[in-house]
Amino acid sequence: QVQLAESGGGLVQAGGSLNLSCVDSGYTFRTNAMAWFRQVPGKEREFVAAIGRNMDYPYYSNSVRGRFTISRDNTRNTVLLVMNNLKVEGSAIYYCAAASRGIPATWTEYDNWGQGTQVTVSS
């Protein structure tokens, strides 16, 4: 069973940084690829970053590559997203998600989701 809970969102000025954390209180964290997505009202959920079960193959959307870093700690069932040089267009609800197959970039291929954490970037 996978139970995901995000934290770390908030309000930050453009150019600032935030660190998001997602904890899985279930028992299958190590068997899942993990990812971060974001969504604004009226738009489809957007891929941000993903990482394999063995902390391998991290990859990013073009819009965040070079500014965001995804990592995971399998001893603490935690996946992190370090966000630097945030932009106003990065304001969204950020979700972590778990996938039992592959390391997909499509939200429909993820099996479990957290409730999300709000990130607001002001100009």
Q: 17 pLDDT band (50/70/90 cuts)?
A: very high
Residues facing 117 on adjacent strands = 94
Residue 53 clears pLDDT 90, i.e. is over it: yes
The pLDDT of residue 27 is 86
Q: Half-sphere exposure of 88 toward its Cβ, with a 13 Å CA cutoff?
A: 2
- The whole-number average pLDDT for the span 78-95 is 98
Residue 82 clears pLDDT 90, i.e. is over it: yes
The pLDDT of residue 1 is 76
- The whole-number average pLDDT for the span 105-114 is 95
Residues facing 95 on adjacent strands = 37
Residue 105 clears pLDDT 80, i.e. is over it: yes
* Unique residue bearing structure tokens 């279930």: 26
Residue 21 clears pLDDT 90, i.e. is over it: yes
State the CB neighbour count (10 A cutoff) for residue 14. Answer: 14
